[in-house]
A and B are shown apart, each in its own frame.
Chain A
Amino acid sequence: GAVVSQHPSRVICKSGTSVKIECRSLDFQATTMFWYRQFPKQSLMLMATSNEGSKATYEQGVEKDKFLINHASLTLSTLTVTSAHPEDSSFYICSASFGYEQYFGPGTRLTVT
């Protein structure tokens, strides 16, 4: 099946620093990737849709200047959390679209101290 990788799996950073998370589709090309945020015992909240070669589309309430998304190739999308604060601590998951289906990466646990 379609495999999506995500790195790092876990990161701890200090308040005010930036963190970059990579999402790769390993065995297929994904014209569209998605970034989600998930708080404990809650559902997946879509943050933005990332399209290869164009600007990301952000969901209402998501700050585009804080969560920078780059979709440089058909297999790689990156999410950069800029000037991270403790309230940004969460589980970030990407997914890649293959036809109708979405396949998820393993997630990145971000802790901001």
Chain B
Amino acid sequence: GENVEQHPSTLSVQEGDSAVIKCTYSDSASNYFPWYKQELGKRPQLIIDIRSNVGEKKDQRIAVTLNKTAKHFSLHITETQPEDSAVYFCAARLTGGGNKLTFGTGTQLKVEL
């Protein structure tokens, strides 16, 4: 089955700086890679996703890059703000896996004033 590794587990940045979270996946048949933001006690919220036929996708301050050859994808947040503080999860969907997602272990992002 698919295995997703996520780094770092914690990340602290100053407000206005950029934050980068990286994930690697094991199965080259994975074709969809979403990122979720989860605030304490709340539901995970989809913030951006990318499909395997695309190398990069951007939505305002958030971008995701995908390197299929290396089997890794990254979340980039620019101009970080205190409200970006949360736990971020990456995930991968295996082709033919019936929409099942395998999640990374999460990154606790703290944006300090």
Residues of A within 8 A of B (CB): 4, 32, 34, 42-44, 46, 49, 93, 97, 100-107, 109
Report whether A100 and B43 are in contact in the complex, using a CB–CB cutoff of 8 Å: no
Asked if A46 and B100 make an inter-chain contact with CB atoms under 8 angstroms apart, the answer reads yes
A94 to chain B, nearest CB (A): 9
User: Does the CB pair A43–B43 fall under 8 Å?
Assistant: no
CA distance A4 to B42 in the complex (A): 13
Is A103 within 8 A of B46, CB to CB?
Answer: yes
Minimal Cβ-Cβ distance residue in B for A96 = B99
Q: Are B34 and A101 in contact (CB under 8 A)?
A: yes
Of residues 40 through 58 on chain B, the ones whose CB sits less than 8 Å from some CB of chain A are: 41-46, 49, 51
Write out the residue numbers on chain B whose beta carbons fall within 8 Å of the beta carbon of A93: 43-44
* Residue in contact with B89 in the complex, picked from A44, A97, A105, A106, CB distance below 8 Å: A44
Residues of B within 8 A of A (CB): 32, 34, 36, 41-46, 49, 51, 89, 93, 98-106
The 7 closest A-B pairs by CB, nearest first: A104-B43, A97-B99, A106-B43, A100-B32, A43-B103, A44-B103, A104-B44
26 contacts between A and B (CB under 8 A): A32-B98, A34-B100, A42-B106, A43-B104, A43-B105, A43-B106, A44-B44, A44-B89, A44-B103, A46-B100, A46-B101, A46-B102, A49-B98, A93-B43, A93-B44, A97-B99, A100-B51, A101-B34, A102-B46, A102-B101, A104-B36, A104-B44, A106-B42, A106-B43, A107-B42, A109-B41
CA distance A42 to B103 in the complex (A): 11
CA distance A34 to B43 in the complex (A): 14
Whole-angstrom CA separation of A43 from B23 in the bound complex: 14
